[in-house]
Chain A
Amino acid sequence: MDLALSPAEQAFAADIRRFFSQEYPQDVLALVRDGRKLTRDDHVRSQQALNAKGWLGVGWPAEHGGPGWTPVERYLFEQELELAGAPSIIPMAVIYIGPIICAFGTPEQQGRWLPDILESRAMWAQGYSEPESGSDLASLRMSAVRDGDDYVLNGTKIWTSGAHWADWIFCLVRTEKCERKQDGISMICADMRTPGITVHPIISIDGAHELNRVEFDNVRVPAANMIGEPGKGWHYANVLLAAERVSYAHIGRKRADLAELRRVAATMPGSVAATMADEPLFARRVALAEIRLNAVEMSVLRVLCGDAAPAAVSALKIACTELAQEITELWVELAGRDRAIVADRTRADWRDAAPEAAPFAVPRTASYLFERAQTIYGGATEIQKTIVWRALDRANAGIARS
């Protein structure tokens, strides 16, 4: 067993680190450090800077413009990006649909969509969930009916992150009623400007507008926008999920957060100890979070190197997201009563609204509230546990038979 990074991998990471400290737009890093809300344009500039190095299409094959990294290299890249405090790549286009288009799209579709994604000319939204189909996604009802060269779409998508920024949306739709509910599902892409599509904002508990409901009322979409074969949408979506099974890990972000937490805690008075960094109960919680983080990082690397049972892979999503939530809890603990404060972080002077407050309180509380969603999306924890159980049960039956 050799768990250390090779010299080449270390050099790779150092190169990425240098990029973020020198070439990457420093004003975007400053905005993040300052707790500001990023605009669409900030994200575009961030992603364009990555693409200028050929580093944006992280999971894409090289022939479509991906960097051609090994899983460990990709992991190191994300880690450095997060340690630098840069915003994560918006996943819908680059991480979710891009690799599907690479794998299952026609050359015409690839030529039409992939360059716009890499150049950040087009943002995408993911239209999977529906009001009546959340955890039970395969029960989805939005219909796509063939009419000449078009499909006609009717139905409602909900919880659509970033639909208000999106130029395109990829949807799972029902093209056929089949015995198995997974079988009649297809994947189709729609230009958000198509007549009949309306986007309705949903404000989340942190006061932000990230989510939307998207209504489709007789929306005509060219049949050429369907990905792969009709009825295979469920399969395509799942191939993708398997490839992206550690994209929620965000180890670097957690590490940067904990380091920052320690730094800030040392500046704040404790109740028993001089500072919160030495406050026994708080220090214990921070230490536990770090210990868990070290273990989770090792688990992620084990998954990337293929050394993890299927049950462990599904369980890791739970561990990573719960740890992220635990870190947000440490921040609100540190904020004490200042967690109550609301301020408008689209403004540069947002801190002046509450000049006596702990400077981190407002953005960290917003994260505490919003990150509750980590255990809801991408397969809610309860659903994930059922998957883990089935894998354990299968593995055990295998042992019993042999």
Chain B
Amino acid sequence: MDFSFTPEQEQLRASLAAYLRDHHDFAARQAAVASESGRNTALWHGLADQLGLLALGGPDAPDPFDLLVVMQELGVALVTEPYLESAITSATLLRHSGTQAAAALLPRIASGAAVVVLADTERGARLGAPPHHTRADRSGDGWLLGGAKSTIMAAPWATTLLVTAQTADGTAVFAVDPHSDGVTMFPYRTIDGRRAADLRFDAVALTEAQLVAAPDIAATAIEHATDAAIAALAAEALGVTRRILDDTIAYTRDRRQFGQSIAGFQALQHRMVDMFMKIEAATSATYLATMKLGAPPRERTLAISGAKVLVGEACRFVGQNGVQLHGGMGMTEELAVGHYFKRATVIEGLMGTSDDHLARYMATAATPQPAAA
């Protein structure tokens, strides 16, 4: 057993961390967030060209621990660029689908030219619900797409949407240009400084070539994409919560009340230790989930859902107490900690809440293991 990262991964972490320190301090982050588009294209090109990180979203499947390292550092720096959405979620789905349409998109993700976003979730739907309101029906040589999607993170930045839809034969995935006739985008800001959108499709005409994953493979491809995304999101959460803890330790050390540093009060010391322990548990669960990404479905599901449960717990506990221990300062837009808290809050709600995953874990664990062949 070896829990150390490879020298290459250590190098990857160091160069990304250094790059972000130099090019993406909190002020730069806030300026991008406040801008009209919310994008930080300079950073995106830096990640693509200078660091070569978008290549991990190319045709060859990367080492999941490389992605873990990247996502953790993006979390530490609270990066809002659509790396998870395009280079991890969409790239994983496209690799598993293996169609020509998919193969054509992967190199464009890897160069950073394309931002590909999976549009799967619908109004009120909880974890794993198949598309319900979105349908695609045969029409001549192609398809007609109708329906709606809700709260699609990074959709306003997408050059291509991967839209899940119900067909006569089951769920399929289509590559849709967001500017096509019949696509209406409702873009909005999110509490974590990003952009998301609700989408409506009204008789959008699609060619056969836009069918990225047919019903025979779509469900599996979506599942793999979602699991990879959850592992990546968990890794980001480790960076986010670690930074909240670091900031809280530093703040309480500097903050003086009752003639002393408040970090000297044992009640606060113990709370910060509790925060640390939540992050430790989440870290181990995230490693386990990352390790199991290639495992058979049952094992994979248990590890992924288990990680999302503990990561969600860490996001909530560390986020809330980070604010609490900063007192009034924690409640302001001015300090970084509140923004990390909000990202942690969003992470807790994306791709299934802790309770959703706990329920999935319970259901999966209760089904007997298939007998060994």
A interface residues, Cβ below 8 angstroms from B = 129, 132-136, 139, 158-159, 202-205, 207, 211, 268-272, 279-282, 285, 325, 329, 332-333, 335-343, 353-358, 365, 368-370, 372-373, 375-377, 380-382, 385-386
Contacts and interface: CB of A to CB of B under 8 A. Distances in A.
A386 B151 CA distance: 44
B168 interface: no
B188 A343 contact: yes
Contact of B353 (A135, A211, A336, A356): A336
Contacts of B127: 271
B59 interface: no
Given A271-B359, A375-B324, A376-B323, 6 more contacts: A139-B258, A211-B328, A280-B359, A337-B349, A380-B324, A381-B324
A274 B339 CA distance: 35
Nearest to B337: A205
A339 B346 contact: yes
A358 to B, nearest CB: 6
Given A339-B345, A341-B190, A376-B324, A356 B123 contact: yes
A376 B331 contact: yes
Interface of B: 121-129, 148-151, 153, 186, 188-192, 194, 196, 198-200, 256-259, 265, 267-268, 316, 320, 323-324, 327-328, 330-334, 338-339, 341-342, 345-346, 349-353, 355-356, 358-360, 363
A272 B358 CA distance: 11
A221 B345 CA distance: 45
Nearest to B153: A340
A32 B364 CA distance: 42
Given A333-B355, A336-B126, A341-B188, A135 B349 contact: no
Contacts of B259: 136, 139
8 contacts: A158-B328, A205-B339, A269-B129, A271-B360, A272-B359, A340-B350, A380-B324, A382-B268
A145 B41 CA distance: 55
B362 to A, nearest CB: 8
Contacts, number: 166
A261 to B, nearest CB: 14
Given A340-B151, A341-B196, A356-B149, A369 B359 contact: no
Which 4 residue pairs are nearest across A and B when measured between Cβ atoms? Answer: A356-B150, A356-B198, A205-B338, A340-B190
A203 B334 CA distance: 8
A331 B330 CA distance: 22
A290 B188 CA distance: 35
A133 B328 CA distance: 11
B314 to A, nearest CB: 15
Contact of A342 (B191, B333, B345): B191
B330 to A, nearest CB: 7
A369 B150 contact: no
Given A341-B196, A353-B186, A368 B345 contact: yes
A205 B337 CA distance: 10
Contacts of A376: 323-324, 327-328, 330-331
Given A268-B124, A381-B324, A341 B331 contact: no
A339, A380, A385: residue with the most chain B Cβ atoms closer than 10 Å: A339
A153 B320 CA distance: 36
Contacts of A357: 123, 150-151, 198
A202 B258 contact: no
A372 B331 contact: yes
B189 A332 contact: no
A282 B331 contact: no
Contact of B327 (A135, A282, A353, A386): A135
Nearest to A340: B190
B196 A281 contact: no
Given A136-B258, A281-B355, A354-B151, A205 B331 contact: yes
A388 to B, nearest CB: 12
Contacts of A355: 186, 198, 200
A134 B359 contact: no
Contacts of B265: 382
A332 B188 contact: no
Contacts of A285: 355
Nearest to B149: A356
B186, B190, B191, B323: residue with the most chain A Cβ atoms closer than 10 Å: B191
A382 B345 contact: no
Contacts of A271: 126-129, 352, 356, 359-360
Contacts of B257: 133-136, 139
Contacts of A340: 151, 153, 190-192, 194, 196, 346, 349-350
Contacts of B186: 353-356
A340 to B, nearest CB: 4
Nearest to B256: A132
A381 B196 CA distance: 36
A55 B359 CA distance: 48
A332 B345 contact: yes
B328 A342 contact: no
Contacts of B190: 340-342
B188 A342 contact: yes
Nearest to B322: A372
Given A204-B332, A340-B196, A372-B323, A279 B258 contact: no
Contacts of A159: 328
B149 A365 contact: no
A182 to B, nearest CB: 13
Contact of B333 (A205, A332, A358, A373): A205
Contacts of B199: 356
B179 to A, nearest CB: 19
B198, B200, B256, B331: residue with the most chain A Cβ atoms closer than 10 Å: B331
A337 B121 contact: yes
Contacts of B153: 337, 340
A281 B333 contact: no
A380 B126 CA distance: 36
A338 B150 contact: yes
A339 B257 CA distance: 35
A139 B260 CA distance: 12
Contacts of A358: 123-124
A373 B151 contact: no
